[in-house]
Amino acid sequence: MSKTNKIVLRIQSADGTKRVETEPSCTIKALYELVRGVCGFDSFEFALFRERNFTKEIVSSGSQEVKDIGLKHGDIVYLRLVDGPSTSKAAERSASVNSLASSHSSSLSNASFSREPTPSTSSKPSGAAAVSATESVLPEEDAVDLELSKCDGRIHRNRDEKLCRHNLKGCCVHCSALEPWDENYLKEQKIKHFSFHSYLKKLTSGAARGKFVALEDLNCKIKSGCRDHPPWPKGICSKCQPSAITLNRQTYRHVDNVMFENTGIVERFLNYWRTTGHQRIGFLFGKYEIHPDVPLGIRARVAAIYEPPQESNRDSIRLLDDPHDADVDELARQLGLQRVGWIFTDLLSENLSSGTVKHVRNIKTHFLTAQECILAGHLQNKYPNRCKASSNGYFGSKFVTVCVTGDEKKQVHMEGYAVSAQCMALVRDNCLIPTKDAPELGYIRESSGKQYVPDVYYKVSGT
């Protein structure tokens, strides 16, 4: 074959871009062998993709040719390392799931909320990690996510009688629809964070229309497989070293509101504290639905609270192994419910006759302790959010935290929270631990011979 029939493909990976010269009639299997030789790999522990966000995998085949999959001269092929040889979408998916499951396992032995964590990679109604190795597609998103992805979320405004100079059918800057992430509108409506789907719309609103958008979870561990030096602690380089982390306020949230279907659900949960004076933990079962008060928002509707086996006193709670955990999830699934969060009490009586409680959580003390943030991060990692914009099918979590405590008027009050993706990553990779003397402060582990911990920075506001 003449040289003019040969084509050059660009192979882009984390180490840079390399070029491979091949022919349109070359098989995909032979293409994998060329890439392995050019990149200097000892094995086929990598996969090739057509898209930057690692979708549309190029499956190794001895019968399919380069021209059959539409590759032309000058095209870019994206390379990603996997745990084992990837010759099909099913194998690549299985490797990603196994890696995710192992990274979601973290220890909480230092926290007063002690429970052996169980790896999970799915937020299905049962809460169990049951992704088959034969699956070749990403997990299906929740029904509310599928519904919101079809909405544009634009905020429509009526014609302003004072500022608009056009007729009823016209439109101007004073009455045109606003984007769901418009800061001025959110500030007027006293919405602190825009919704996750508004965040996705913002990412895909540019000229590229989200072509290069790929949501990836933060990684706090050393990348394995670096051949330039001995493994840690004998060596480390910029290619395998995780980046330093600067703690920032997360601009979006996955769930915008938590609503209980009736007051009896909470009253039954609080009866234990009213009777014994001991604190209590429960898991929230319900559904996710569209929240009408926030553009493209999601609301968690709670239908039941399940109280697992636990030991508690006035100041602490210890979760015990639950032999009925799987049965509860299966029963909830048959009822059309799923785990949407967890709830705990922090109530101290002040005056029994008037029924008031102490106001201990505020801006001068803390809203959540480090132990509670770590447990929240562990649970959010256990029940991740299914997202098609992520390469592994999961990003963030819709699992909420509800704290029952005293408010400024010394009445029983509930507040909803969720930790950020940065906190989830620090908890998942076992970098964050609580402190003994200051419950509001967390401590970042020091690097040791067994674990490298990246530097974590934070900014102090002068106001």
Residues 6+ apart with CB under 8 A from 379: 342, 399, 401
Share the mean pLDDT of the chain: 82
Q: At residue 116, does pLDDT exceed 60?
A: no
Q: Which of 163-172, 261-270, 304-313, 427-436 has the lowest mean pLDDT?
A: 163-172
Q: What per-residue confidence (pLDDT) applies to 122?
A: 39
* Residue 26 counted as domain residue: yes
Task: Assign 3-class secondary structure to the chain.
Answer: CCHHHCEEEEEEECCEEEEEEECCCCEHHHHHHHHHHHHCCCCCCEEEECCCCCCCEECCCCCCEHHHHCCCCCCEEEEEECCCCCCCHHHHHHHHHHHHHHHCCCCCCCCCCCCCCCCCCCCCCCCCCCCCCCCCCCCCCCHHHHHHHCCCCCECCCCCCCCCCCCCCCCCCCCCCECCCCHHHHHHCCCCCEEHHHHHHHHCCCCCCCCCCCECCCCCCCCCCCCCCCCCCCCCCCCCCCCCEECCCCCEECCCEEEECCHHHHHHHHHHHHHHCCCCEEEEEEEEEEECCCCCEEEEEEEEEECCCEEECCCCEEECCCCCHHHHHHHHHHCCCEEEEEEEECCCEEECCCCEECCCCCCCCCCCCHHHHHHHHHHHHHCCCECCCECCCECCCCCEEEEEEECCCCCEEEEEECCCHHHHHHHHCCCEEECCCCCCCEEECCCCCCCCCCCEECCCCCC
Q: How many domains does the chain have?
A: 1
How large is the average pLDDT for residues 365-371? Answer: 92
* Residue 261 counted as domain residue: no
Q: At residue 134, does pLDDT exceed 60?
A: no
Q: At residue 174, does pLDDT exceed 70?
A: yes
CATH number at residue 50: 3.10.20.90
Q: What per-residue confidence (pLDDT) applies to 1?
A: 42
Q: pLDDT band for position 100 (50/70/90)?
A: very low
How large is the average pLDDT for residues 437-442? Answer: 89
Q: At residue 119, does pLDDT exceed 50?
A: no
Q: At residue 23, does pLDDT exceed 50?
A: yes
% of the chain exceeding 70 in pLDDT: 85
* Residue 60 counted as domain residue: yes
Question: Which tokens is 4 given?
Answer: 């003019």
How large is the average pLDDT for residues 323-330? Answer: 94
Which of residues 463 and 117 earns the better pLDDT score? 463
* Residue 300 counted as domain residue: no
Q: What per-residue confidence (pLDDT) applies to 51?
A: 86
Question: Which tokens is 251 given?
Answer: 């601009």
Q: What per-residue confidence (pLDDT) applies to 137?
A: 59
pLDDT digits (tens, 9 = 90+) for 197-244: 999 888 887 665 656 677 888 889 988 878 888 888 888 888 888 989
* Residue 418 counted as domain residue: no
Q: At residue 416, does pLDDT exceed 90?
A: yes
pLDDT digits (tens, 9 = 90+) for 26-50: 888 888 888 888 888 877 778 888 8
% of the chain exceeding 90 in pLDDT: 37
Give the whole-angstrom CA distance, residue 280 versus residue 129.
27
Q: pLDDT band for position 4 (50/70/90)?
A: low
* Residue 29 counted as domain residue: yes
* Residue 404 counted as domain residue: no
How large is the average pLDDT for residues 410-433? Answer: 93
Show the domain range for 47.
7-81
Specify the residue for token string 């991060």.
377
Residue of 450, 453, 459, 99 lying closest to 243 (CA atoms): 453
Residues 6+ apart with CB under 8 A from 407: 359, 413
Spatial contact of 430 and 157, defined as CB atoms under 8 Å apart: no
* Residue 161 counted as domain residue: no
